Amino acid sequence: MQAYQKIRSMMHKWDTDRDAGLVTPENVVRFDHISYGEYGVWNLLDVYRPKQDTEKRLPVIVSVHGGGWVYGDKDVYQHYCMSLAQRGFVVVNFSYRLSPDVVYPGHLQDVNAAMGWVTDHIAEYGGDESHMYLVGDSAGAQMAAMYACVLTNPDCRTRLGMEAVPDVKIRAVALSCGAYDMEDCLRRVDAGASEAEQEELLRTVLGEAYGAEQLFLGCPAHFITKDFPPAYVMSSNGDFLRNQQPILLDALKQKGILHEYHEYGDETETLYHVFHCNIRLDAARKCNDEVCSFFRKHIK
């Protein structure tokens, strides 16, 4: 079994166990399997919104899922995203191409395409594209942060070889348990992996000839400017990427970006990586409430 297949198997078991028995809430209406790009099943999205607010245009949250750039899709994140919709938002939950089918930064091209669809179509689902927010966790936090840099830093766009969708405005981001050093993350994601397996995973995500440039382009801290949106950053006391949070926080501080940092868990409770996706946890409900409250501060 190749390294990325091992990661997929491990994460699939965790997520399946976590969400066993969950169903679509009665107070959420959902629109499923909408195409936003040219890559078939990997370019599909769902839209969720509160059933009781179908006559109102609501602020929009776009979720960029995690999974180490090799795992995950919108189905894995549906229950977490519907829980955000229950808090008064239209929520877009999309799949994107994974490695090894694409190497970084190809994943970001799909994020850009999804954002283009949202800008053009979310009003049809009662969303207000003038009040748009991004959430992402783990690898998804890295991509959400990098996409915010794509929108706000021309040098970032040039070095990534990307053209940002015109008129996209992100009012704030929530970055959870983020992976801001790709090499460190991919070597940590499977603590029991051999050095050869770790290197194999790096080459799967970054390409056989990866080097310093690809790793540089994987760190949003290098591209944050004064125009980066307000950020809610969080981790937890049992997060294996807890040590990476200062990479981003230091850059936010240096550029004077409005931000909050929250670390969840205490001596009575250990909370692990992306705990906030387990919507059965009291701590997850608290965290997700606080993220949505942060976003509401930026509704004008």
**What confidence tens digit (pLDDT) does each residue in 250-263 have?**
999 999 999 999 99
SS3 state at 279:
coil
Burial of 33 (0-12, 13-18, 19+ CB in 10 A): exposed
Supply the pLDDT for residue 282: 98
Mean of pLDDT values over 242-250: 98
On the question of pLDDT at 164 being above 90, the answer is no
Mean of pLDDT values over 221-242: 98
On the question of pLDDT at 240 being above 80, the answer is yes
On the question of pLDDT at 192 being above 90, the answer is no
Supply the pLDDT for residue 299: 87
Supply the pLDDT for residue 144: 98
Preceding peptide of 59 cis, ω within 30°: no
CATH numbers and ranges of domains, the chain: 3-296 (3.40.50.1820)
Supply the pLDDT for residue 167: 81
CA dihedral defined by 177, 101, 110, 150, rounded to 10 degrees? 60
Q: Please give the Cα distance from 300 to 298 (Å, whole number).
A: 6
Supply the pLDDT for residue 50: 96
Mean of pLDDT values over 276-285: 98
On the question of pLDDT at 191 being above 90, the answer is no
Q: Which is more confidently placed, 110 or 300?
A: 110
Supply the pLDDT for residue 55: 76
On the question of pLDDT at 53 being above 80, the answer is no
SS3 state at 83:
helix
- The H-or-E segment that residue 152 falls in is helix 139-152
At 8, phi and psi to the nearest 5? Answer: -60, -45
Question: CB-based contacts of 14: which residues, under 8 Å, 6+ apart?
Answer: none
Supply the pLDDT for residue 94: 98
The pLDDT-based confidence of 99 (bands split at 50, 70, 90) is very high
CB atoms within 10 A of CB 272: 14
Mean of pLDDT values over 220-239: 98
pLDDT, averaged across the chain? 96
How is 181-198 classified by DSSP, letter by letter? SHHHHHHHSSTT--HHHH
Supply the pLDDT for residue 66: 98
Q: Which is more confidently placed, 52 or 40?
A: 40
On the question of pLDDT at 103 being above 80, the answer is yes
Mean of pLDDT values over 24-43: 98
Q: Please give the Cα distance from 140 to 69 (Å, whole number).
A: 8
Supply the pLDDT for residue 108: 97
Supply the pLDDT for residue 252: 98
On the question of pLDDT at 113 being above 90, the answer is yes
On the question of pLDDT at 112 being above 90, the answer is yes
Supply the pLDDT for residue 163: 86
